[in-house]
Amino acid sequence: MTQIYAFGLGTTTTSSTGAMLDCFFPAPFKTPGTALADAIVSQFPAGSGEVTAETIQTFAEASTDGPTRQALLALCESDRNLCAVRLDRDEAIDSTAAAYLKLHLLSHRLALPNSQNLDNIFARLPNVAWTSDGPLAVDELPRALLSARVKGKNLQVFSVDKFPRMTNYVVPGGVRIADASRIRLGAYLGDGTTVMHEGFINFNAGAIGPNMVEGRISQGVILGAHSDLGGSSSTMGTLSGGGAITISIGENCLVGANAGTGIPLGDRCTIEAGLYITAGTPIMVIDEQGAEVGQVKGRELAGASDMLFIRNGATGRIECRTNRKAIALNEQLHAHN
């Protein structure tokens, strides 16, 4: 694994434990120049921990990358809850700071979905009240709400969750997001991606770009370039019944409105509106001449390209119209020719 370095500003609870609630990394970076690498290796061991503004100043002076240098210098203006993370190996997450760094790497486009070890992420991310005043510990929320009311203010609570919205930490270039609350930190949005109001992208999931997303991209799912998800469509992720199967959608695909898939799709595939394909869905395969090739379960078509999934309006049967070269059918199906 390429070494990853990040310096950020954390938020901790007001209790005596001082537990970390979140960590903001404005400019994580991979293996830097020699001078900066030497400074990090000599002053900060692998892992995560607190640092001082003076330490970050040293790293800023050694940095040759303009944006990184500016971000580090901005952090130096505060000496409150400054933290640092150095990852030499892609291991299971062992701290809240490390969890936030790996989520930042995804949203900064420094790592693709499913390319990092995210084991223990739920255990290391605390449940947080995300408010108009920033993150608060859940047990501190009642007092904060009362205090705000007493002062004539209205403290808004946007959610109580382990994952915050991405745009409070990272706004990647070249994207449009209609409702920022529906994009979690750790989502990957490639250049040219548009997410409409009904669109949702979970952590460790994303769209390579350019894409139009009006449906749900679940955890672990990747949407290929020039593919679109219609309104209220969905993809089955590993946290929503997909098990260990990684669902991906190739390039130039369309999943129609209110449709969805629980199998990976190759390139140039279409699922008609309102049709959900799962691994166990019985599907009649029909070739380009209109001849029935045979019935299969959805899992037998997983990953294939050039498929059109429709529901026959007369019979209600689910059909896959394709050409024989697009899929490799098993011997039993070939026997039905």
Please give the positions annotated as active site: 214
Chain centroid to Cα 89, Å, comes to: 21
| Both tokens assigned to 217 | 């991209």
| Both tokens assigned to 206 | 């994303």
> Shortest CA distance to 229 belongs to which of 246, 211, 243?
211
C-alpha count within 13 angstroms, C-beta hemisphere, residue 100: 29
| Both tokens assigned to 309 | 């999934």
CB 103 within 8 A of CB 185: yes
* CA 190/CA 224 separation, integer angstroms: 10
* CA 231/CA 57 separation, integer angstroms: 48
Torsion angle (degrees, nearest 10) of CA 167, 170, 175, 177: -10
Burial of 150 (C-beta count, 10 Å sphere; 0-12/13-18/19+): exposed
